[in-house]
Amino acid sequence: MRNYKLVLNSSQSALSSQPQLKALPPLSLYIHFPWCEKKCPYCDFNSHQIKDVTSSSPQGFDEVRYINALIADLETELPRTWGRQVHSIFIGGGTPSLLSAKGMDRLLSDIRARVHLEPDCEITMEANPGSVETEKFTAFAKSGINRISLGIQSFQDAQLKALGRIHNGAEAKRAIEIALEHFKSVNLDLMYGLPNQSLEDAKADVETALSFKTPHLSFYNLTLEPNTYFASFPPKLPSEDEIDAIFEQNLALLEAAGYRRYEVSAYAKKDQECKHNLNYWRFGDYIGIGAGAHGKISFPDRITRQVRERHPQTYMEAMETKGNALIESRDIPAKDLPFEFMLNVLRLSDGVDTATFSERTGLPLNVIAKPLNEASQKALLDPHPSKLKATPQGLRYLNNLQELFL
Q: Which pLDDT score is estimated for 9?
A: 46
**pLDDT tens digits, 227-236:** 898 889 999 9
In this prediction, residue 18 has a pLDDT band, given cuts at 50, 70 and 90, of confident
In this prediction, residue 55 has a pLDDT band, given cuts at 50, 70 and 90, of very low
Q: Where are the domains of the chain?
A: 1-19+335-406, 27-280
Residue 52 scores a pLDDT above 70: no
CB 183 within 8 A of CB 148: yes
Q: Which pLDDT score is estimated for 2?
A: 57
Half-sphere exposure of 250 (CA within 13 A, CB side): 28
CA 13 to CA 231: how far, in whole Å? 44
Which string of DSSP letters, residue by residue, matches 192-210? ES-TT--HHHHHHHHHHHH
Q: Which pLDDT score is estimated for 14?
A: 64
Residue 54 scores a pLDDT above 60: no
Average confidence (pLDDT) over 254-269: 97
Task: Return the higher-pLDDT residue of 396 and 108.
Answer: 108
CA 317 to CA 155: how far, in whole Å? 40
Which string of DSSP letters, residue by residue, matches 212-243? TT-SEEEEEE----TTSHHHHS------HHHH
SS3 (DSSP) at 84: coil
In this prediction, residue 6 has a pLDDT band, given cuts at 50, 70 and 90, of very low
CATH architecture of 1-19+335-406: Orthogonal Bundle (1.10)
Question: Is omega for the bond preceding 94 within 30 degrees of 0, making it cis?
Answer: yes
**pLDDT tens digits, 122-144:** 999 999 997 677 789 999 999 99
CA 88 to CA 147: how far, in whole Å? 11
Q: Which pLDDT score is estimated for 57?
A: 56
Average confidence (pLDDT) over 317-335: 97
Residue 338 scores a pLDDT above 80: yes
Amino acid at 37: E
How many Cβ atoms from other residues are within 10 Å of residue 317's Cβ? 15
CB 338 within 8 A of CB 346: no
CA 239 to CA 129: how far, in whole Å? 29
In this prediction, residue 326 has a pLDDT band, given cuts at 50, 70 and 90, of very high
Residue 7 scores a pLDDT above 50: no
**pLDDT tens digits, 62-107:** 999 999 999 999 999 999 999 999 999 999 999 999 999 999 999 9
Residue 281 scores a pLDDT above 50: yes
Domain 27-280: CATH class, spelled out: alpha beta
**pLDDT tens digits, 178-207:** 999 999 999 999 999 999 999 999 999 999
In this prediction, residue 53 has a pLDDT band, given cuts at 50, 70 and 90, of low
Residue 364 scores a pLDDT above 90: yes
